[in-house]
A and B are shown apart, each in its own frame.
Chain A
């Protein structure tokens, strides 16, 4: 490895390390956004509407508070997966198609016409 490459690499790593240290220091000093104090899970399960969600902000506030008007879905998780993040689910399905097509290429034994290949069989015998 040449000297210039080494210099660039060490500079990049140093910048990354400095950014990481700074982010960790900031996170350690800032106040926690949510601590589970005062939340009884059994009580919440029995009466879900008692949950105080007024503290949500940004996109989370829209998802939590206006879920029923926007998507008509009972379950917030379901509406996030299939409405707010519909592209994500579609991408996962395409990933599954790609994975199955790849393993089909590797694992299949038949030719394009659907007949079994005679060469492999003869070689095995």
Chain B
């Protein structure tokens, strides 16, 4: 069986497996509760994006390359920004100002919550894309298979 990722110590692999879902859930919690608690789109997005560093610590550069699609992230980041502008422009089309919440008091639905989610996704995709580029510079992976084959033969 041909392994596609470089073997890392089992301690770092288990630790990344343990903390990866916790980091993702905590980041999503911060994004979704941005309207009522400290935090918000920017902070929660960066928290979610930091999960890629756990993947890198556990599975190396090849694991990151197999798990994330950099081009899709970079495109959807722009889509999230367009979503923010469109949601903000809805206030203009209803006869109010830019960025004004057109659903008034007494309602649970709030347009700025949607804008918050858009910013959260935008920051998450952007910082993840940035970290992928930085990690690809760190690890040029010229011959990724040789080390694994030697280790398998030794085992």
Contact = CB atoms under 8 A, between A and B. Distances in A.
Interface of A: 68-75, 77-79, 81-84, 86-87, 89-90, 92-94, 96-97, 99-100, 103-104, 107-109, 124
B84 A72 contact: no
Closest 7 CB pairs of A and B: A86-B99, A82-B112, A107-B133, A72-B105, A71-B101, A100-B126, A78-B35
The dominant DSSP class at the B interface is: helix
B93 interface: no
Contact of A96 (B40, B103, B123): B123
Given A72-B104, A94-B81, A104 B74 contact: yes
B76 interface: no
Contacts of A68: 105
A75 B40 CA distance: 11
The majority secondary structure among interface residues of chain A is: helix
B84 A73 contact: no
Contact of A87 (B98, B116, B119, B134): B98
Given A72-B106, A93-B84, A107 B116 contact: no
B34 interface: yes
Nearest to A104: B133
